[in-house]
Chains A and B, each alone.
Chain A
Amino acid sequence: MKAAVIVFPGSNCDRDLAVAFRDLTGHETVMVWHGETSLPEGLDIIGVPGGFSYGDYLRSGAMAARSPIMRAVADAAGKGIAVLGVCNGFQVLTETGLLPGALMRNAGLNFVCRDVDLTVGTSQTMFTSRYEDGESIVIPVAHHDGNYFADDATLDRLEGEGRVAFRYAGAVNGSARDIAGIVNDAGNVLGMMPHPERMIEGAHGRTDGRRLFEGLVGALS
């Protein structure tokens, strides 16, 4: 199984994500620079990491979404390759249009950096199959722009189609309907603000994020 992580100028969670993929797939993760125009052959998973790509200029994720490699990522997503966007990666995926909605400045204006309680919205995705529906888990967040916004029709559709992967169990950033993570309509693209790659081994304090990667690798095996 082959995973790649996209690296933008300003990415800072790319190596964490690469380690998570490596530990669960058993193969070294390929790092792909944003200026590339194509992805390596035979990829199964693409990670779009957290960080502050392009210094969050214009809007978080806006510049990264227009970088050459994202066209290749969009093509790959269209072919059904699994794409996981974490934090800034979620912002990039909404800016490219691979996921609906937008991530706005946190309602409290503060940068929020702490462990948060999440509720699993659905176990019926390739990313969440190792969780139970409605299960409570803890995953850290670290963001300034995590306030999910979409119009009511889009929110209704996301909920109606079981595409809300994770919700905040309490107030975190003002997100519409407490949405912390969503999948696209085909179910192969997940964007989430919390960082599952920061909770995968005992030294992290908890391992609640590990099952996301286990589930993904299991689904693709």
Chain B
Amino acid sequence: MKTRVIVTLKPGVLDPQGKAVHHALTGLGFGGVNDVRVGKIVELDLADGTEPAAIEDMCRKLLANTVIENFRIEQA
């Protein structure tokens, strides 16, 4: 069972990497980019029947730092 965890910085948390990427896109001539936020994707290959609560627990205990990050779980 393939599952994706998408980790993003919480709104309001400054994202220096996103700002740098935004700047670089603008430098390449791409107009109309209002904002850029950089996150990460963790792909999990899980045993069939893994409880959603267990995946959420993995996110809270390790995959995301909920002080600064939000996470979203997607079945691939």
Residues of A bordering B, CB below 8 Å: 58-59, 62, 66, 94-95, 100-102, 104-109, 147, 149-150, 174
**29 pairs, CB–CB < 8 Å, chain A vs chain B:** A58-B62, A59-B65, A62-B65, A66-B62, A94-B67, A95-B65, A101-B67, A102-B65, A102-B67, A102-B68, A104-B13, A104-B14, A104-B16, A104-B68, A105-B16, A105-B17, A106-B16, A107-B14, A107-B16, A109-B16, A109-B17, A109-B20, A147-B16, A149-B14, A149-B67, A149-B68, A150-B67, A174-B14, A174-B16
Give the Cβ gap from B72 to chain A, nearest Cβ, in Å: 17
Given A107-B14, A107-B16, are A58 and B68 also a contact pair (CB < 8 Å)? Answer: no
Which residues on the A side are within 8 Å of B61 (C-beta)? Answer: 66
Interchain CA distance A109-B38 in the complex, whole Å: 13
Give the Cβ gap from B37 to chain A, nearest Cβ, in Å: 13
Which residues on the A side are within 8 Å of B20 (C-beta)? Answer: 109
Chain B at the A interface: SS class: helix
Which residues on the B side are within 8 Å of A101 (C-beta)? Answer: 67
Q: CB of B63 within 8 A of chain A? A: yes
Which residues on the A side are within 8 Å of B13 (C-beta)? Answer: 104, 149
B62 touches A62 (CB 8 A): yes
Which residues on the B side are within 8 Å of A149 (C-beta)? Answer: 13-14, 67-68
Interchain CA distance A59-B17 in the complex, whole Å: 14
Closest to B38 in A: A105
Which residues on the A side are within 8 Å of B65 (C-beta)? Answer: 59, 62, 95, 102
With A105-B17, A108-B16, A149-B67 given, can you name 7 additional A-B contacts, CB distance below 8 Å?
Answer: A58-B62, A62-B62, A101-B67, A102-B65, A104-B16, A107-B16, A149-B14
Identify the 9 closest CB pairs spanning chains A and B, nearest first.
A102-B67, A102-B68, A109-B16, A105-B16, A107-B16, A102-B65, A109-B20, A149-B68, A59-B65
Which residues on the B side are within 8 Å of A147 (C-beta)? Answer: 14, 16
Closest to B20 in A: A109
**Residue-by-residue, is B1-45 near A (CB-CB < 8 Å gives 1, otherwise 0)?**
000000000000110110010000000000000000000000000
Interchain CA distance A62-B61 in the complex, whole Å: 10
Give the Cβ gap from A173 to chain B, nearest Cβ, in Å: 10
Which has the most chain A C-beta neighbours within 10 Å: B13, B14, B61, B67?
B67
**Residue-by-residue, is B51-76 near A (CB-CB < 8 Å gives 1, otherwise 0)?**
00000000001110101100000000
Give the Cβ gap from B63 to chain A, nearest Cβ, in Å: 7
Give the Cβ gap from B25 to chain A, nearest Cβ, in Å: 15
Which has the most chain A C-beta neighbours within 10 Å: B13, B14, B17, B63?
B14
